[in-house]
Amino acid sequence: MTELTAEQRMIRDVARDFTRTKVRPIADRLDPVKGEIPQDLVDAMAEMGYFGILIPEAFGGLGLGAVEYCLVAEELARGWMSVASLIARGNMLIGSLKMLTEAQQAVYLPRMAAGKFLGAYSLSEPNAGSDLANISCRAVRVDGGWEITGNKYWCTYADRADFILVFARTETDADPRARHRGLTAFMVEKPRGELPQGVAGSVIPKIGYHGWTTWELAFDRCRVPEANMVGAEGRGFYLATAGLETARAHTAARSIGLATAGLEDAIAYARERAQFGRPIAALQAIRFKIANMATEIEAARSLLYAVCAKIDSGVRCDKEAAMAKLFASEMSERVTSEALQVHGGAGYTTLHAVERHWRDARLTKIFEGTSEIQLRIISDHLLGRDAG
């Protein structure tokens, strides 16, 4: 990894301190009882500017790049992955800025940067997961706007967000070989704490990623004004994929943050726990585990920040971003599992945070494109899509 600048080191250190003092204590208290991220913490993150890291200064954001975004995400994930994920709810449209009208940029971005307009992302459906082009939720034109009808799945933060970015099919007779065409994105605005009018929902019971809830949603003629169509009609798939390199880097950063938290907790526990008359940190089996964990983390970090540098210099890096996401998330599960092993039976209780790191690391292999989908992207780059 190229050396961080003094400013980047400062951003990282401030985020580290914020996590230590504000995020970790709250996570340790609330995750075991499936509590929600308190609004005070969301407000404190807004004050830090975390919802606008990628948003240009002209719109009230920090105007920084993927390196800084990932540095902050990595640090926040050391405390609680859900908090590291939350920053994407402000920075979420950044890959698609060019697809927003000037009026939309002026209306949405300053409020997003200030943490006053945070979004939930509703792409997935019961039958559209990895195969996003299979979206069947429909939007039909009505007087003055659109009506959305259909079922969505896995919408995290649907209740507490200020809007849900919904992807729906506006063209139903698209060529079956080009199902990704004919999708359109809509900004469904709503009051915080409620689902939008015309939407019913229920919470999906998850094994981790606590701090916020993830929803199954049923849209029944939910009305959206014309001005809230995001990007051009039929271009929703391109809007969804425009920011994928940054989104994958962000997931790699969260994975590295979790693994680092596991490593730190393991080191602390190994120093404190004694067996056979000495701290387990003196046992070579434990020392080598720690050494391997640290090495794996550093390898993932080097890959990630090389990708971030590419993103920030405008170089396409679809393959490398997939590699970073794949490697970091697989590494994160291995490392947090080893961290749990270092804790022995104590690791298998909710009395130590290491079980949280492990449960959350498990998710990083599934969302933002599963590990198998990343392998598919990488192998397509290397072999071509149709190689026999």
Q: Would you count residue 381 as binding ligand FAD (CB under 6 A)?
A: no
User: Which of residues 122, 246, 336, 364 is near ligand FAD by CB under 6 A?
Assistant: 122
Per CB under 6 A, contacts with ligand FAD among 134-193 are 154-156
Q: What is the smallest separation between the CB atom of 68 and ligand FAD, expressed in angstroms?
A: 23
CA atoms of 228 and 188, how far apart (whole Å): 7
Nearer to ligand FAD, 222 or 363 (CB): 363
Nearer to ligand FAD, 69 or 209 (CB): 209
As annotated, the active-site residues are: 368
CA atoms of 361 and 53, how far apart (whole Å): 24
* SS3 state at 121: strand
Stretch that binds ligand FAD, among 105-113, 136-144, 269-277, 372-380 (CB under 6 A): 372-380
User: Which of residues 214, 228, 246, 260 is near ligand FAD by CB under 6 A?
Assistant: 214
User: Which of residues 5, 101, 130, 202 is near ligand FAD by CB under 6 A?
Assistant: 130
Residue 334 phi/psi, 5° resolution?
Answer: -60, -50
Q: Would you count residue 372 as binding ligand FAD (CB under 6 A)?
A: yes
Stretch that binds ligand FAD, among 6-14, 193-201, 334-342, 361-369 (CB under 6 A): 361-369
Q: Would you count residue 129 as binding ligand FAD (CB under 6 A)?
A: yes
Supply angle C-alpha 102, 251, 363, rounded to 5.
125
In the block, tokens 């490398």 appear at 320
Q: Are strands 214-225 and 199-203 parallel, antiparallel or unpaired?
A: antiparallel
Q: What is the smallest separation between the CB atom of 210 and ligand FAD, expressed in angstroms?
A: 10
The DSSP-derived string for 153-206 is EEEETTTTSSEEEEEEES-SS--GGGTTTTEEEEEEE--TTSPPTTEEEEE---
Tell me if 93 sits within 8 A of 147, measured CB to CB.
no
The count of residues in the chain is 388
| Interacting residues toward ligand FAD by CB under 6 A | 121-124, 129-130, 154-156, 206, 209, 214, 363, 366-367, 370, 372-373, 376
